[in-house]
A and B are shown apart, each in its own frame.
Chain A
Amino acid sequence: MNWNTAVYIVMNPLFALVLSPLVLGLIKTVKARIQGRPGPPVLQQYYQLRKLFHKEIVYSEDSSFIVRLGPYLGIAFMLTASLFVPMVFIPQTGWFGNIILFFYLMITAKFFMVLGGLDAGSTFGGMGSSREMTVSSIIEPVTIMSCAALAFVLKTTSIPEMFRTLLAGSIFSYPTLILVGISLFIILIVESARVPVDNPETHLELTMIHEAMILEQSGPKLALVELASGVRQTVLMALLINVTFPWGLAGLAGCASLLLAAVTMAVKMLILAATVGLFESLLAKIRFFRLPDFFMIALFLSFITIVFELLR
């Protein structure tokens, strides 16, 4: 392992970890402003995490080791997955970055969260887990189709290689990436449990999915779960940004270029976060059994990407 890779391995997860609460905070602020409220401060999520890390942990007496282990596994899988999507610069070595493995790492993290929801035997947890798995199994073909479309267009399954190819070209060389971009946006909305699919702001309501699963977690464990879902969102955002607008990503590690690339990426990420906030404010939550209609658009767009590429 050379110096370049070492910097990458430290920097990429750290970038996602540090930025994700800010992204969440910004989405909340944008939504609040649109609703005419001042909303919480943008840095609220950081305070929230600090508060949670100082609290004690309470476990249900019916719960097993799964609830205790789940948050660690979740954050570990997410940080590993974050290695697969270069956010600041593209590493030289190609031993990681397979897009299919990337999505499966994310699914595994979700799987342990679902188990954690079921473990304590509370009704809300079970309901949340069941819904989460239903949604996951419907979005799965869409995700795979989008991976296939990306791999088909860019002729590689390695995410860093994709970004490298994209940096060399322009949107005119790959017009179909507009369609893949829309698919990835829908996947981002679903995976980060945002409005038309789930409502991240409700607690103890019959509509919640993600929040219902983590009701049993408390204190630092809850903070880890929150961080993991923040990282999940940030990583997917980075994938979407770099697929549709990769310019600004540094090709090589160098002090000045790294700083510039990090700032550029952060700005792009915050613009996307504001867009997500706007999108959430414009839509109402979709009824659970109508969700497939929403996902099908992503599937269709990925499919016609492949047909379009065949045609070209």
Chain B
Amino acid sequence: MMNTGITGDLIEVLFVLILGTAAFVITQRALRSLFTLYTIQSVILAAIAVVLFAEHRTVSLLFIALLTLVIKGFVIPAFLRRTLVVLPSKRDIEFSYLTPASSILLSAVLLFIVYTSFSNVAEVLFSDRLFFLGGVIGVSLALMGMMVIFSRKKVVSKIVGYLTMENGVLLFGLFIAEMPFIIEVLIVIDLFMLIVLSTIMAFGIDSSIEAFHKKLTQLGMRFED
């Protein structure tokens, strides 16, 4: 059982930092900073898993931390950054349906709704206040990611929205529904394939096959003619 000592305090600080990064993911326009924010968010998630491991001594938590750190902290951001080479503009200034200001307001409302709906079942479901907190922030993060997906127009930033959503699911999984480690691995593999496919789609969808091959070569992929 989680005690409310230094571990609990540390996790709360990390929660606060995650919420901070979420706010900036919604409003940031420069793509490079958007990717950096995602990296920071993933590293914080890995840190939460490590702190939880220190408390519970469940080895799978350590593996989750390692997996998150390597894949989401290094590999996916590196892949995303490589796409910047091909992209004509380095900023995403197009928004549909919601301006950044209104999506920020909406996500505050979402957080509050999630909080009120969770607090109805809090007594039954959560043995610990911290788990309740983790659940609420996890679901809110997933919803904020979803909002990024539909309010951004560029595919690359939609991908970051999807990744944020997955981070929210991971956070929820860490605190509420303990997923078996193998499922966690499969999710990450899925995620990675999705990133590869959707970045390729993002460049290829508006070009001819020849031009598409040229673009992919720039991305570092070789094709036999």
Contact = CB atoms under 8 A, between A and B. Distances in A.
Interface size class of A (residues with CB under 8 A): 20 to 34
Interface string A236-278: 0000000000000000000000000000000000000000000
26 contacts: A171-B13, A173-B9, A175-B12, A176-B16, A178-B13, A178-B17, A293-B100, A293-B104, A295-B101, A296-B27, A296-B104, A297-B24, A299-B104, A300-B105, A300-B107, A300-B108, A301-B23, A303-B112, A304-B111, A307-B111, A308-B15, A308-B16, A308-B19, A308-B133, A310-B115, A312-B12
> Top 7 A-B pairs ranked by shortest CB distance?
A172-B9, A296-B104, A175-B13, A296-B101, A175-B12, A303-B108, A293-B100
Interface of B: 6, 9-10, 12-13, 15-17, 19-20, 23-24, 27, 99-101, 104-105, 107-108, 111-112, 115, 129, 132-133, 136
Contacts of B133: 308, 311-312
Interface of A: 171-173, 175-176, 178-179, 182, 292-293, 295-297, 299-301, 303-304, 307-308, 310-312
Contacts of B15: 175, 308
Contacts of A299: 104-105, 108
Contacts of B115: 307, 310-311
A312 B133 CA distance: 7
Nearest to B9: A172
A172 B13 contact: yes
B140 to A, nearest CB: 9
Contacts of B100: 293, 296
A297 B132 contact: no
Contacts of A312: 12, 129, 133
A176 B12 CA distance: 8
Given A293-B101, A297-B104, A178 B23 contact: no
Contact of B104 (A173, A175, A179, A300): A300
Contact of A311 (B27, B107, B136): B136
A197 to B, nearest CB: 15
